[in-house]
Structure 1
């Protein structure tokens, strides 16, 4: 699946993917493409949610361990989902991609019981096939990575 940005994605469409038992979604307008995982070069002194940097389409792109980020059980990623952010491209290491679906978050903000860090990462919560669906916030993710303590 490739979204090169030549045409604007219709509103209400999201790329849905799994992370262990969790279902996550990213607004299709923010998704560049999904690809098989590529080699990742670890970087010392970075946040523990950052796997390192991978060369994607000739660019050095930070790769985030989405399972670790969301507190899910660690698993070997089967896809990279590259996105665009104000700070440049970012890749999420994910589980299987379920597809582009017309899913919408529940109206309002995420449930108040979510921790403050989670609300920086989770823009909204919805339901898909009787499972919670976490709508991820790309800009919040970049802020969370910057705020995370350095890896030891």
Structure 2
């Protein structure tokens, strides 16, 4: 399944995907596409959540191990969710759903510093934790 970037995505729609036992969501307007994982070239001296770089559509893109960053069970990624600034190695894509962050439910303070910059809000979907992510916030050394 590939999702092509939507320049004017309807508000309130998110791409929901699995990361270990967690569910994560990215605003559909931030998603370029989902693809099967591509080869990743590791980079020495980077954070453990940065898998390295992958060439996606002719561009070197940093690939983030979303499970490791969020402290979820580490699993072999089955999808890359690409944005304009990075790709997230994830579990299965659940689909495009009408869910959006509740600004009154910020991330718990116990989240790691890097994850706290990535997670904008928390919720629940089908009795599973749902973390709403924002793009362009994870930097090496975070």
**Equivalent position of 2:41 in the other structure:** 41
Q: 1:11 to 1:90 in 2, by over 3 A?
A: same
Q: Is 1:93 aligned to 2:94, yes or no?
A: no
Residue 109 of structure 1, CA deviation: 4.3
Q: Is the 8 A contact 2:50 2:140 kept in 1?
A: no
Q: Provide the alpha-carbon RMSD of the alignment.
A: 1.6
Q: Is the 8 A contact 2:107 2:120 kept in 1?
A: no
Structure 2 gaps of 5+ residues are none
Structure 1 gaps of 5+ residues are none
**Equivalent position of 1:147 in the other structure:** 141
Q: Is 1:21 aligned to 2:17, yes or no?
A: no
**TM-score using structure 2 length:** 0.90
Q: Partner of 2:29: helix, strand, or coil?
A: helix
**Equivalent position of 1:102 in the other structure:** 98
Q: 1:116 to 1:109 in 2, by over 3 A?
A: farther
Aligned residues: 140
Q: Is 1:133 aligned to 2:130, yes or no?
A: yes
**TM-score using structure 1 length:** 0.85
